[in-house]
Amino acid sequence: MSEVCIGIDQSYEDTGISVCIDGSVKVMGHIYLGKLKSKTEKRNYLKLKLEKVIKKALNYGSVTCIIERIRLRSEGFLNIDYIKSIGALNAVIVDTCAAYGVSVYSVDTRCWKAQIIGTSKGSSNKYGVPENKWPTIKYFLQNGKERCIIEEVTGRKTKGTFERNGKKYRYNDNIADSGAISLFWFKGDKNKLKVEK
């Protein structure tokens, strides 16, 4: 039986979710929640989708889940509303996993970036990707995963997009982040993980 890790970059807008089996990222995707009206709807929808991922993952072996740890301070500020809402989202993930006997751990953003990508510092790029998100995108581009993280863009949106063969595209950093988080179980320092209950 294999070891499986589900990596989740959770948010109410677009949750990245990837599956790593025996140290190799096999599935990279996301659950777009932006069009749903309430946070309750978003949490319920995420639960349904996550259940499907867990059920499939359990066919391959023992499953663990890693989520991104809540940042208590952002730019020096303590955002209580953010902490409450992301805590509720995390609880849905933890409870859904628990129903299938899957343990959930959290990892600090800077920690997984440093250990998996090799840096937590941003860098410039020609694709319009925010500097802090680029190293993770670059990592997966270099590892042959472009088709997993590229999306065609329709409509007027130009920020964060680039053109190729007359079409507009963007790289989805949520998908890339979840891929790196899923790798942490195999390549990161497990002592840096914190059990979420």
**Domain spans of the chain?**
2-117+173-196
Is 162 within 8 Å of 74 (Cβ atoms)? no
What the block records as the tokens of 113 is 């970036």
Is 146 within 8 Å of 129 (Cβ atoms)? no
CATH code reported for the domain at 2-117+173-196? 3.30.420.10
- What is the chain's mean pLDDT, rounded? 95
Is 158 within 8 Å of 195 (Cβ atoms)? no
Is 177 within 8 Å of 136 (Cβ atoms)? yes
Report the pLDDT value the prediction gives residue 113, as an integer from 0 to 100: 97
For residues 171 and 120, which has the higher predicted lDDT (pLDDT)? 171
Please check the confidence at residue 73 and state whether its pLDDT lies above 80.
no
Please check the confidence at residue 45 and state whether its pLDDT lies above 80.
yes
Spatial distance between the Cα atoms of 177 and 135, rounded to a whole number of angstroms: 10
CA distances (Å), 167 to each of 78, 135, 171, in order? Answer: 41, 24, 13
Ordered strands of the 14-21 beta sheet: 24-32, 14-21, 2-9, 61-68, 103-107, 194-196
Confidence of residue 74 (pLDDT cuts 50, 70, 90): low
Range of 8-17, 67-76, 80-89, 149-158 with top mean pLDDT: 8-17
Report the pLDDT value the prediction gives residue 33, as an integer from 0 to 100: 97
